[in-house]
Amino acid sequence: MKRAKPLDSKPLTARQVTSRGLGAGAPRLEAAGPFGNGPISALPNANLTSENKQVAVRIGDLFLQNPVLTASGTFDPFTYAELVDLNRLGALVLKGLTLQPVLGNKPPRIAETPAGLLNSIGFQNPGLEGLLRDILPRLKDVTVPIIANISGDTEEEYEELASRLNHLPEVAALEVNISCPNVARGGMVFGTDPEVAFSVVSRVRRVYHKTLIVKLSPNVTDIAAIARRVEAAGADAVSLINTLLGMAIDVRTRRPRLGNVTGGLSGPAIRPVAVRMVWQVARAVRIPIIGMGGITSAEDALEFLLAGARAVGVGAANLVDPRATMEIIEGLERFLEEEGIKDINELVGAVRV
């Protein structure tokens, strides 16, 4: 999708809105921007701190107390900290970041579909300086790993951003979003060509020395081939899937429901596709997989683990139920207890085919 123009104005604030949630009629919490006002701290509830080593997993050099991460762009920590204990998460993945601030696409940016959500946000973010100035200082009480998600128009932008983030102790890992148009190659998405994906990940790997996760696009012919090349380039893990390209039309106005015409489809509608792709990639690479795509319950998360994922990302479900991540963590712990399973890693790739 076409990247929106850079933003010169000050960071936006977060707000709560109530609207129809993913076809379920539930209240939805939506962040208007990547942050709110003032510092935050985790909710004080010692009983929620996970001491249960049964659910601990490792991704690269990251030790996660449980396998549940937030999916980038769906979980504003400053809003959600009022409702969940951030330190109960496996890891906190921040909204996508670019070198310079970006305003994003013109509205409408969101359109609901049956069992799903189309979005065309357009990489809206405050840029690297905004992250350093306005976001990281207010996350000082977060004790779980913080993962920065990065995007770029060129390989040079990815490399520079990774190099500057490499020295930040607050950032434990990078998730490299290669579902972006490559301006130097006429707008071709980095993640749709195995050799282009290899090239950009190699450049990031040269300058970034902590855990490197590469987020894969599902809008490809052979996702396993892309995964193999980013593994060869030095990725410590892959996360998948990103959103599927989709479109919705208002039949009364005969106009697209999104201002950008097309957008990324997420939510339960894409889960079977995501599970299938995780299973395919798990058979092709040795590095850990973070599975995502329509996860709304512990049972959904378990599907991904059985298919070969070692951890999962929860995205659109956060917009329907702000406590979705907490309920999934608790559900996984109950499942292990009920099934008499001593270590959640025993389930990884354990599907019987």
Give the model confidence (pLDDT) of 281-313 as tens digits: 999 999 999 999 999 999 999 999 999 999 999
Query: Which residues face 55 on adjacent strands?
Result: none
Q: What is the pLDDT of residue 189?
A: 85
Provide the 3-class DSSP secondary structure of residue 327: helix
Q: What is the pLDDT of residue 4?
A: 46
Query: CA 123 to CA 34: how far, in whole Å?
Result: 11
Q: So where are the chain's domains?
A: 46-347
Q: Which residue has the higher pLDDT, 33 or 53?
A: 53
Q: Tokens in use for 294?
A: 């329509």
With pLDDT > 90 as the criterion, what percentage of the chain qualifies? Answer: 82
What mean pLDDT comes out for the span 36-52? 39
Tell me if residue 180 is catalytic.
Answer: yes
**Per annotation, catalytic residue among 57, 89, 131, 180:** 180
pLDDT band at residue 57 using 50, 70 and 90 as cut-offs: very high
Q: What is the pLDDT of residue 188?
A: 67
SS3 percent helix, strand, coil of the chain, rounded to 5, is 35, 20, 45
Neighbours of 27 (CB within 10 A): 15
CATH number for 46-347: choose from 3.40.50.720, 1.20.120.1200, 3.20.20.70, 3.90.79.10. Answer: 3.20.20.70
For the stretch 67-106, pLDDT in tens is 999 999 999 999 999 999 999 999 999 999 999 999 999 9
What mean pLDDT comes out for the span 206-219? 97
Q: What is the pLDDT of residue 110?
A: 96
Residues in the chain, overall count = 353
Torsion sign across C-alpha atoms 325, 179, 19, 13: positive
For the stretch 232-253, pLDDT in tens is 999 999 999 999 999 999 999 9
Q: What is the pLDDT of residue 53?
A: 72
Q: What is the pLDDT of residue 302?
A: 98
pLDDT band at residue 52 using 50, 70 and 90 as cut-offs: low
Q: What is the pLDDT of residue 186?
A: 57
Provide the 3-class DSSP secondary structure of residue 58: strand
What mean pLDDT comes out for the span 56-66? 97
Among 47-51, 126-130, 328-332, whose mean pLDDT is lowest?
Answer: 47-51
**Mean of pLDDT over the chain:** 87
What mean pLDDT comes out for the span 170-174? 98
Segment (H or E) for 244 = strand 244-247
With pLDDT > 70 as the criterion, what percentage of the chain qualifies? Answer: 83
